[in-house]
């Protein structure tokens, strides 16, 4: 964040802070928090107020901004419009776009989601068998459909599933170590289309992946205020092979990515909502003052902003994310800090004198008591099936294990707490060897993709016209997206640290929360597909850098045209890469030589 002091009047009363206006087609969002940052967007503008004894506005040249207004009267600085412009920017919602662009604000995410949906639902039932960890989660989901909790299976359960006969459940409970949400979502597809076919198993994953594409495009529009960049972000995620495979397979990770991204989007909406409230309440105080601005006392801490409903939504989404996989807890921490930092900076920009302490007390504490309880209650509710059962694993543990001093807790709560403790021990001690395990050091460069499925059909098999063929599912990411996104992260670090761009910091927070914690467990068995939880932020990071290449709307036409050519080339290259790898993403039958051509690294085999 920009920590420069707020300009003050001769009496020491803060009266305004840097502001920005305008946003063009390549706009990157409001730039008032990083006024000198050459981020993708319209011409950055900056206003500073005169001391209180000045009586008229003055236009000053400098920094290439000749003709732009730098100074305003104190009374003008605390109108609703001036405050909103300073805190949010010239484009404050989709309604602020010209009428010709408003429809495209919603059409662009919809079009990219439709493309993503076609890629995800086409041949979704291939292969017609359980692949990789579907052997766990699909069977658990079917158990939910039948009894509401996980039950065990006979040794030949996979053969029965593949033959369309899943009704071979045993009556004993099964011990599992992941929470229920992702499995309940898989159950939804089975409820709609039956548990006896792969389309039913995978429907919810494909739907979640499609919705994630829609959200990424919408969030890019919100962050960058550019229809072009919104389309780029949605398209890049829609065609990425890693996300595509996880969206076509009934594993938990795509659901985790969905709820994390939904929480991030809710916090973006809360950011604007909180700033609108701050602007409205400060403006009301200024209007009630004969001096045309809030009193020095009112500007010490600023107003309370009340209940933040989008934070409640974010808390629910984070609870569902934790209810899918516990690794979402790192996102809870990262997003909680991020949203409070946004509020601190909002108060500073608005001219609040004690902005840090006021932001902690008036925003930070309320953020904690809104997000954390909402997430905790949501998480507890996701275990309803376990609570309602009598025979689920560890359901009766407390009844046979009295705990003096803890008897005031219901047995069901003590049993669930013990369940969590045992599951935590399992995750901590998970270190068994696996042929496709991979270190987090290799994830960003796709060092060791996890093979989900591989068969070698012989000549005469449908689709195989040569002696030896291959049919594979390898969740290898699009090289343009992953390698380009990795380079983009370095650029974002410079723009966040050097230019103080909050957008770069927000994207980096999403990547860091999903990626860095895995380095704390070097002995644990890990897989590259865990990276799908932060992949949407990697795509946003690449889109951010492409926005820098695209340039600002105020740039000369030749500059904009050149930038557009470069961005178009990158997108086309990504589309060609997906088309090349598509057969090994979707279990198409190809010749063995064609399969080998797509194994660019020995570690991919």
CA distances from 492 to 265, 483, 504, 548, 605 (A): 19, 14, 5, 11, 33
- Candidates 485, 12, 346, 391; CA nearest to 169 is 391
- What are 425-455's pLDDT values in tens digits? 888 777 778 889 899 999 999 999 999 999 9
Q: Please determine, for residue 528, whether its predicted confidence score (pLDDT) is greater than 80.
A: yes
Here the tokens at position 543 are: 């889109």
pLDDT of 580: 96
User: Is the bond preceding 127 in cis, omega lying within 30 degrees of 0?
Assistant: yes
b (16+ CB within 10 A) / e for 467-494:
eebbbbbbbbbbbbbbebbbebbeebee
C-alpha–C-alpha distance, residues 175 and 393, integer Å:
6
Q: Please determine, for residue 5, whether its predicted confidence score (pLDDT) is greater than 60.
A: no
Q: Please determine, for residue 600, whether its predicted confidence score (pLDDT) is greater than 50.
A: yes
Range with the lowest mean pLDDT among 6-20, 451-465, 480-494?
6-20
Mean pLDDT for the stretch of residues 456-464: 88
* pLDDT-based confidence at residue 402 (cuts at 50, 70, 90): confident
- What are 152-208's pLDDT values in tens digits? 999 888 998 888 888 898 999 998 989 999 999 999 999 999 988 999 999 999 999
Taking a C-beta distance cutoff of 8 angstroms, is the pair 590, 583 a contact? yes
Q: What angle do CA 213, 274, 257 make, to 5 degrees?
A: 25
Residue 487: φ, ψ to 5°: -65, -40
Mean pLDDT taken over the chain: 86
Q: Please determine, for residue 303, whether its predicted confidence score (pLDDT) is greater than 60.
A: yes
E-assigned strand segments in 407-468? 453-455
Range with the lowest mean pLDDT among 2-11, 98-107, 438-447?
2-11
Task: Say how far residue 131 (Cα) sits from the centre of its chain.
Answer: 26
pLDDT of 322: 97
Alpha helical stretches, state H, 351-410? 355-358, 365-381, 384-388, 397-400
pLDDT of 539: 97
Q: Please determine, for residue 43, whether its predicted confidence score (pLDDT) is greater than 90.
A: no
pTM listed for this prediction = 0.87
C-alpha–C-alpha distance, residues 27 and 421, integer Å:
48
- What are 317-370's pLDDT values in tens digits? 999 999 999 999 999 999 999 999 999 999 999 889 999 999 999 999 999 999
C-alpha–C-alpha distance, residues 523 and 434, integer Å:
12
pLDDT of 463: 87
Q: Which residues contact 411 (CB under 8 A, 6 or more apart)?
A: 396, 398, 399
Q: Please determine, for residue 48, whether its predicted confidence score (pLDDT) is greater than 60.
A: no
């Amino acid at each position: 964040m920009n920590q420069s002091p707020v300009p003050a009047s001769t009496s020491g009363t803060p009266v305004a802070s840097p502001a920005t206006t305008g946003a063009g087609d390549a706009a990157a969002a409001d730039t008032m928090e990083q006024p000198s940052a050459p981020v993708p967007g319209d011409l950055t503008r900056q206003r500073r107020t005169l001391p209180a004894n000045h009586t008229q506005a003055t236009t000053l040249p400098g920094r290439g901004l000749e003709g732009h207004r730098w100074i305003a009267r104190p009374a003008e600085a605390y109108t609703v419009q001036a405050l909103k412009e300073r805190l949010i920017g010239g484009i404050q919602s989709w309604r602020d776009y010209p009428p010709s662009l408003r429809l495209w604000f919603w059409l662009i995410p919809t079009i990219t989601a439709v493309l993503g949906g076609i890629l995800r639902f086409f041949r979704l039932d291939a292969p017609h068998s359980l692949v990789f960890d579907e052997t766990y989660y699909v069977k658990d989901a079917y158990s939910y459909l039948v009894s509401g909790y996980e039950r065990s299976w006979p040794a030949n359960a996979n053969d029965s599933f593949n033959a369309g006969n899943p009704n071979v459940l045993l009556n004993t409970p099964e011990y599992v170590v992941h929470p229920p949400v992702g499995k309940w979502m898989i159950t939804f597809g089975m409820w709609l289309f039956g548990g006896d076919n792969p389309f039913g198993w995978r429907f919810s994953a494909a739907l979640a992946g499609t919705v994630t594409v829609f959200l990424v495009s919408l969030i890019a529009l919100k962050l960058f205020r550019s229809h072009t960049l919104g389309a780029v972000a949605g398209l890049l995620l829609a065609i990425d092979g890693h996300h595509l495979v996880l969206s076509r397979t009934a594993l938990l990770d795509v659901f985790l990515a969905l709820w994390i991204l939904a929480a991030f989007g809710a916090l973006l909406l809360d950011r604007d909502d909180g700033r609108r409230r701050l602007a409205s309440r400060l403006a009301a105080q200024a209007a009630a003052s004969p001096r045309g601005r809030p009193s020095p006392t009112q500007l010490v801490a600023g107003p309370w902003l009340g209940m933040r409903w989008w934070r409640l939504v974010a808390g629910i989404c984070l609870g569902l994310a934790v209810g899918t996989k516990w690794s979402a807890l790192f996102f809870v921490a990262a997003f909680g800090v991020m949203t409070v930092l946004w509020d601190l900076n909002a108060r500073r920009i608005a001219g609040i004198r004690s902005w840090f302490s006021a932001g902690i007390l008036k925003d930070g504490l309320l953020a904690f008591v809104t997000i954390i309880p909402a997430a905790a209650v949501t998480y507890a509710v996701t275990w309803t099936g376990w609570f309602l059962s009598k025979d689920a694993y560890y359901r009766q543990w407390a009844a046979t294990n009295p705990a003096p001093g803890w008897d005031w807790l219901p047995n069901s709560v003590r049993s669930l707490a013990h369940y969590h403790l045992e599951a935590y021990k399992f995750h901590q001690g998970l270190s068994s060897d696996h042929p496709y395990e991979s270190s987090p050091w290799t994830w960003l460069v796709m060092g060791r993709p996890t093979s989900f499925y591989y068969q070698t059909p012989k000549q005469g098999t449908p689709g195989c016209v040569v002696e030896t063929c291959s049919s594979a599912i390898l969740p290898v990411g699009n090289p343009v997206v992953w390698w380009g996104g990795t380079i983009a992260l370095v650029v974002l670090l410079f723009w966040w640290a050097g230019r103080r761009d909050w957008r770069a910091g927000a994207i980096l927070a999403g990547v860091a929360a999903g990626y860095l914690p895995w380095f704390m467990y070097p002995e644990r068995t890990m897989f590259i597909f865990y990276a799908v939880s932060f992949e949407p932020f990697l795509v946003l990071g690449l889109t951010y850098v492409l926005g820098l290449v695209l340039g600002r709307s105020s740039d000369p036409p030749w500059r904009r045209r050149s930038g557009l050519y470069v961005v178009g080339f990158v997108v086309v290259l990504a589309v060609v890469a997906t088309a090349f790898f598509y057969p090994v993403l979707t279990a198409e039958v190809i010749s063995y030589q064609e399969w080998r051509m797509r194994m660019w690294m020995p570690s991919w085999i």
